[in-house]
Amino acid sequence: MIKVMLAFSNLLFSEGILRLLEGSEDIKVVDIARPGSELQARLESMRPDVVLVDFTTLFNGFGDLGGDANRFILVDTSCGEDNIISAVLTKGLKGVLVAGSTPLLLRKAIREVAAGEIWLDKIDVKNLLTGLHALKKSSRPVLSAREWEVVGLVGQGYRNREIAEKLCISEPTVKTHLQRIFQKLDIQNRPQLITFAIRNQPAESFGAGAAERRII
């Protein structure tokens, strides 16, 4: 029997997932964690095979997942591809599921992750791999101090307008910086830049506070 823990910021969503899993012969929900509860302690106590979680709860309710990361499935509740890729890279997740998936796919994803397999749904894997490939070309490419500031803010989920406000520059100037950064790093889009930012910025730049800012 596969033991599943539900950890969502919305209890109605948890109840909906519970109903979808009812009747499964090999899957059992053993815990529905309420928002604000001691999730890390519950995880260690219940020892579920799979944890279904949303972006908000993943970053605000759990600490360093360590070896438990391969038991987590991030259910995408419209948090955006940028945030999904950030979660996969910073938390080491092995599972991502689109919220609109069918009950059949939900159960299949749970079984795959419980068996130690990877289930990445919706993520543009090509973008992710291309971004990682770009990192191998140069561990520390030559970027200006301002460009590194832009990279750091993009990695924290800020949009161009917000970056402009924080750096006291115009939005067109931010776009110009991004164009130059893309050229220097040999990448094509924002998700790849987020991949680079996470791998090259100090870990403290992507703590719980930064995670809150990345929510779209």
pLDDT tens-digit series, residues 165-210 = 999 999 999 999 999 999 888 887 887 787 787 777 543 344 433 4
Amino acid at 127: N
Q: Which two tokens stand for residue 136?
A: 């191998």
Distance CA 216, CA 206 (A): 16
Domain boundaries 126-214, CATH class: mainly alpha
Domains 2-123 and 126-214 agree in fold: no
Mean pLDDT of 112-121: 88
Tell me the CB-side half-sphere exposure of residue 198, using CA atoms within 13 A: 27
Distance CA 44, CA 17 (A): 22
Q: Residue ranges of the domains in the chain? A: 2-123, 126-214
Q: How many CB atoms lie within 10 A of CB 78?
A: 11
CB 78 within 8 A of CB 32: no
Is residue 51 over pLDDT 90?
yes
Q: Which residues pair with 53 in a beta bridge?
A: 7, 74
Distance CA 137, CA 186 (A): 9
2-123 falls under which CATH superfamily? Response regulator (3.40.50.2300)
Q: What is the DSSP letter of 202?
A: -
Is residue 92 over pLDDT 50?
yes
Residue 209's pLDDT is 39
Distance CA 103, CA 118 (A): 18
Task: Round the average pLDDT of the chain to a whole number and report it.
Answer: 80
Tell me the CB-side half-sphere exposure of residue 133, using CA atoms within 13 A: 9
Q: Which two tokens stand for residue 177?
A: 């910086």
